[in-house]
Amino acid sequence: MQFLWFGWSGYPVLMFPTSMGSYVQYQDMGTVGRLADKIDAGYLQLICVDSVDAESWYDERRSPAERGPRHEQYDAYLRNEVVPYVQERAGRRDLGTFGCSFGGYHASNFAGRHPDVVTKAVCFSGIYDVRRFTDGYWDDTDYFNSPLDYIANMDAEWTTKMARIDWVIATGEYDSLVDDNRRFSTLLSSKGIPNHAEIWPGVFGHDWPFWNDAIVRLL
């Protein structure tokens, strides 16, 4: 697994690429450049991680029962290898997650599963459930990687942990996923988890120019 690291000081952020994207995506699409002032000033450190989407949720060669376990391996890599490395190298314990589109899924899911390490989650134009990738199949692995499902049933202990995360959910009014984003924000609020939701009026929103403009304000 490869990654890129930008920055020398400031709070670290795991940057999850869009569907089946690679660790170089945020550099190639200009996102890193838009954050250059914050990076140079020592406010942010960006850790652009790779994905295994093509081997997990998007892999139609695998049976639906095999897709969730492959993602579990990815989650374990992030939690047990990447996070300790980031904490040691950055010299601090706070950690953000960020993603656009399916990267928004990763940002929300990793935060939801690991509120002990994530302190901020910024999700643009995200997907918040995995049912569309399981072809009707469903098991505990799928459930515990589907934020709209497991967050809905969280007990008070877990929602208290989740409420410590600074949640941001945003997309455009005409994004085909706008209802998913509204639903996720509403779910968080219903569980007593504060969140900042933005639905940008009059625009599609599900594209790089919108994401690169908004990240400067919201990350």
pLDDT in tens, 163-205: 999 999 999 999 999 999 999 999 999 999 999 999 999 999 9
pLDDT tens, position by position, 57-74: 999 999 999 999 999 999
User: What number of residues does the chain have?
Assistant: 219
Provide the pLDDT for residue 47.
98
Whether residue 47 contacts residue 97, with contact meaning beta carbons closer than 8 Å, is answered with no
Q: What does pTM read for this prediction?
A: 0.97
pLDDT band at 120 (very low <50, low <70, confident <90, very high): very high
Task: For residue 180, give Cα distances in angstroms to 31, 88, 139, 148, 173.
Answer: 24, 36, 22, 9, 12
- The helix-helix angle for 102-113 and 64-77 (nearest 10°) equals 70
Element (H, E) at 216: helix 208-218
Residue type, 109: N
pLDDT band at 122 (very low <50, low <70, confident <90, very high): very high
pLDDT band at 105 (very low <50, low <70, confident <90, very high): very high
Which residues constitute the domain of residue 116? 3-218
Q: Both tokens of residue 158?
A: 């877990």
pLDDT tens, position by position, 15-24: 999 999 999 9
Whether residue 199 contacts residue 172, with contact meaning beta carbons closer than 8 Å, is answered with yes
How many structural domains is the chain composed of? 1
pLDDT band at 110 (very low <50, low <70, confident <90, very high): very high
CA neighbor of 68 nearest in space, from 46, 47, 53? 53
CATH number at residue 32: 3.40.50.1820
Task: For residue 97, give Cα distances in angstroms to 15, 78, 135.
Answer: 6, 11, 28
Q: Let me know if 107 is exposed, middle or buried by CB neighbors in 10 A (0-12, 13-18, 19+).
A: buried
